[in-house]
Amino acid sequence: MSIQRILTSLLGKKLFALSDDEKPRSVFVSADVWAAVLPPFPDTMEGLRRGEFRAWLENFEDGDEFSVSEDPDDKPSWTMLARVKPTEEDFWSMRITTPDTSPGMRAIGAFIGYNEFVVLDWHYREEMDFDNDVNEAIARWRDLFGECHPHTGETLNEHLSNFWPV
């Protein structure tokens, strides 16, 4: 079964479209991620961080400009989207680095097509065991998509539009 057909079978059950409207990019999230970005966002630091997370995902969905790093060993600390190791698995970290007063958040996922991203897990950065958390996200992908590999390409142009390589 193709990856797109698997996605269709998962929608509304294990994965959820962030928006029902047609957008320049598509974002699909797990139930955990959905719960984290569902408003209302409380009047707390946690609320602030989750509000920023929601905005990050909507900005991505709207086709906005994103800085992207392909090399996990050579990236600026402020990049917005970065490939993670093991690179052959083609997983990425969405890096929500604001507010500046917090360590930030990370959401791990993979491209399922051009301008289409599946967000599997999210974490407060200060609570992460990064490599282990990436491996868990990879395992979640395999539970959902079996042997289907994430969408990849030789260049960033094959992954998404409107990016700013850093």
Partner 1 sequence: MSTSVTSGPSNAIKISLGTFGYVRARNKQRIYNIIIREFKKSGLRNIDLAKRLGKAPEVVHRLLSRPQNWEADTISDLVFAICGGTLKFSVDRPTENAASVTSIEERRPDQADAFVRPTSPKSNSQTLKAA
Q: 108: which residues sit within 8 A by CB, 6+ positions away?
A: 84, 91, 92, 93, 94, 119, 120, 121, 122, 123, 133, 134, 137
Residues from 137 through 166 that contact partner 1 (CB under 8 A): 164, 166
Q: Which amino acid is at 84?
A: V
CB-wise, 34 or 114, nearer to partner 1? 34
CB of 34 vs partner 1, minimal distance in Å: 5
Out of 3, 7, 27, 80, the only residue in the binding site for partner 1 (CB under 8 A) is: 80
Contact criterion met (CB below 8 Å) for 42 and 54: no
Out of 6, 59, 135, 136, the only residue in the binding site for partner 1 (CB under 8 A) is: 59
Residues from 110 through 129 that contact partner 1 (CB under 8 A): none
DSSP letter (8 states) at residue 136: H
Q: Which amino acid is at 62?
A: D
**Could you tell me which of 86, 45, 51, 93 has the C-alpha nearest to residue 69?**
93
Q: Given the rule CB under 8 A, which of 1-9, 19-27, 115-123, 151-159 is the region that contacts partner 1?
A: 19-27
CB of 149 vs partner 1, minimal distance in Å: 26
DSSP state letters, 1-35: --HHHHHHHHBTTTEEES-SS--SSEEEEEHHHHH
CB-wise, 67 or 135, nearer to partner 1? 67
* 34 in contact with partner 1 (CB under 8 A): yes
Q: Which residues bind partner 1 (CB under 8 A)?
A: 12, 16-21, 31, 34-35, 38-52, 54-56, 58-59, 64-65, 67, 76, 78-80, 97-100, 164, 166
